[in-house]
């Protein structure tokens, strides 16, 4: 067959080179010859394009008698041979466990806190012996704010930086013009350049709250700087030839869309993400990419590309795709996404989101979404029954402090105590507010404030006994709220269910 013929030809060439090598180069030549011999015997399961390129070097390097590094040639392999284990539970981690007696380090911190789902070989050693390692996380500007689902990579970035490594936050000004198909049942809506620029500005402000972007500490970079100027034919000739369509079709982001259809535009996303890693390596010596486990296929495409063209070892860490104990997707509520922008989701509501976490999730969330020492978290894990609420308040306060600052966290705590603690040690002025004229229909007010999604929802909630005004259950959907119901501060308390309370203040 053609592959065997090529392997035989390569073996003959290797033998000829062997006769002219220096003693120091002989072991490397033997490794290559051994690999070619295995291919002749049909032992390789690598796709033909990968088989052909596995040991290809630029001609000028071959002529110059380059001495190959055994640790590099050993790693030039298809992503199929990367060592990793996948857990049945998407919230369980299964990356390489650190040695029991290992000293505290960046990898160990991520592992014990539950960040690591999988990693390529050598990542732990890289972080321990090559510090500082430059690493990156990509954020496509699909909205003008990130949401709670983005907190895992952002917190991981912060932990790595606190342990001596250099972060690159990659804004997808280029890839955002296509849209990542991973996890999507249909194509993302195309955005204008102006919208992408606006979204990038919003995301930049949020990233600055998690990582230090001071001089020489961390950077925010934009892949528009190198993607938008690419020449299509040149890119296809230089890089497209290195990707196998057969392998690309096996990626989860593609397989899940084959029945409903995927545009050629989206299909190209894999190539661009892989090229990002190559550019970041060349520009910033970036050797590590971290991201969600749904990105594994795209990430290892970039690892292959860097290893082939630069003959350098790089790697990745992926995180579990979080769901709550109830099975719901992390960061989603009945009212929509939990945004990180305070204008979209107030600090008080953000605080309440964490307070309302399932009891079974509290310990895991404390590890992932706070910087509390593990010893302190271990003590909070011991709380049972009603005492778990204390751990929830610690989680809510710490998470809110990281995103919105300590002052906002204190205000949210005071508001929560006023709303749910009977006023004890609380501050009603810290509760969420809404100004309204009086008199006003109870149904209209519920819809206007967002406590109910519509007037129909408001009527159903009243019929179900879920609405209260100043603590009294409302039974009449035709009720009109007037000034006589206001307290001394010209306000009343409107409540839906046990957890949603709003202070309605009379307009001046």
With vertex at residue 87, the alpha carbon angle to CA 84 and CA 93, rounded to the nearest 5 degrees, is: 80
pLDDT score of 407: 95
Lowest mean pLDDT among 115-124, 372-381, 442-451: 442-451
pLDDT at residue 257 above 60?
yes
Sign of the C-alpha dihedral computed for residues 54, 59, 60 and 62 taken in this order: positive
pLDDT score of 50: 31
- Give the list of residues 6+ apart from residue 246 with CB closer than 8 angstroms, or none: 47
- Could you give the CA distance from residue 204 to residue 172 in angstroms, rounded to a whole number? 11
pLDDT score of 498: 75
pLDDT score of 49: 26
Per-residue pLDDT band at 44 (split at 50, 70, 90): very low
Give the end-to-end CA distance of the chain in Å, rounded to a whole number. Answer: 87
Average pLDDT over residues 239-260: 80
Lowest mean pLDDT among 46-55, 98-107, 319-328, 455-464: 46-55
Over residues 482-501, the pLDDT tens digits come to: 888 888 778 888 988 877 88
pLDDT score of 443: 92
pLDDT score of 9: 53
The most confident of the ranges 45-54, 73-82, 163-172, 210-219 is 163-172
Sign of the C-alpha dihedral computed for residues 26, 32, 34 and 37 taken in this order: negative
Distances (CA, A) of 268 to 44, 274, 466: 28, 10, 50
Per-residue pLDDT band at 28 (split at 50, 70, 90): very low
pLDDT at residue 106 above 90?
yes
Residue pair 7/13 in contact by the 8 Å Cβ criterion: no
Per-residue pLDDT band at 10 (split at 50, 70, 90): low
Distances (CA, A) of 360 to 155, 288, 333, 364, 385: 21, 32, 17, 8, 11
By C-alpha distance, which of 279, 287, 143, 298 is closest to 221? 279
Over residues 211-233, the pLDDT tens digits come to: 998 777 899 999 999 999 999 89
pLDDT at residue 206 above 50?
yes
Average pLDDT over residues 10-15: 51
Over residues 295-306, the pLDDT tens digits come to: 898 899 999 999
């Amino acid at each position: 067959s053609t592959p065997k013929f090529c392997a035989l030809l390569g073996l003959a060439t290797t033998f000829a080179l062997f006769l002219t090598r220096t003693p120091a180069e002989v072991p490397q030549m033997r490794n290559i010859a051994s690999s070619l011999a295995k291919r002749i015997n049909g032992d390789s399961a690598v796709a033909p394009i990968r088989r052909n390129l596995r040991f290809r070097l630029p001609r000028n390097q071959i002529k110059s008698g380059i001495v190959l590094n055994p640790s590099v040639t050993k790693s030039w392999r298809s992503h199929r041979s990367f060592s990793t284990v996948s857990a049945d539970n998407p919230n369980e981690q299964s990356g390489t466990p650190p040695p029991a007696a290992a000293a505290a380090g960046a990898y160990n911190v991520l592992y014990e806190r539950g960040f690591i789902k999988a990693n390529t070989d050598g990542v732990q050693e890289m972080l321990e012996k090559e510090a500082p390692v430059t690493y990156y996380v990509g954020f496509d500007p699909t909205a003008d704010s990130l949401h709670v689902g983005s907190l895992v990579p952002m917190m991981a970035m912060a932990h790595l930086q606190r342990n001596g490594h250099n972060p690159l936050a990659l804004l997808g000004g280029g890839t955002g013009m296509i849209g990542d198909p991973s996890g999507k049942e249909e194509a993302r809506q195309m955005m204008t350049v102006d919208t992408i620029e606006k979204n990038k500005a919003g995301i930049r402000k949020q990233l600055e709250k998690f990582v230090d972007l001071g001089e020489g500490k961390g950077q925010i970079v934009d892949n528009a700087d190198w993607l938008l100027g690419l020449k299509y034919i040149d890119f296809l000739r230089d890089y497209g030839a290195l990707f196998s369509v057969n392998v690309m079709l096996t990626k989860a982001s593609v397989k899940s869309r084959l029945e409903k259809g995927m545009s050629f535009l989206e299909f190209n996303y894999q190539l661009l993400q892989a090229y990002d890693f190559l550019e970041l390596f060349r520009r910033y010596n970036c050797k590590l990419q971290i991201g969600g486990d749904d990105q594994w296929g795209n990430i290892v495409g970039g690892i292959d590309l860097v290893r082939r063209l630069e003959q350098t070892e790089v790697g990745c860490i992926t995180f579990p795709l979080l769901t709550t104990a109830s099975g719901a997707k992390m960061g989603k509520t009945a009212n929509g996404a939990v945004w990180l922008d305070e204008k979209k989701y107030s600090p008080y509501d953000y605080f309440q989101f964490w307070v309302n976490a399932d009891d079974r999730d509290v310990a895991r969330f404390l590890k992932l979404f706070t910087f509390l020492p593990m010893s302190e978290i271990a003590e909070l894990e011991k709380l049972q029954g009603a005492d778990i609420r204390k751990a929830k308040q610690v989680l809510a306060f710490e998470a809110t402090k990281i995103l919105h600052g300590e002052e906002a966290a204190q205000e949210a705590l005071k508001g929560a105590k006023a709303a749910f603690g009977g006023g004890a040690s609380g501050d009603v002025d810290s509760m969420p507010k809404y100004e309204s004229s009086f008199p006003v229909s109870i149904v209209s007010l519920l819809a206007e404030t967002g406590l109910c999604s519509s007037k129909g929802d408001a009527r159903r909630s009243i019929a179900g006994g879920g609405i209260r005004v100043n603590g009294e259950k409302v039974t009449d959907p035709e009720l009109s709220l007037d000034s006589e119901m206001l307290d001394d501060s010209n306000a009343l308390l409107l409540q839906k269910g046990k957890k949603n309370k709003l202070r309605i203040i009379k307009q001046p």
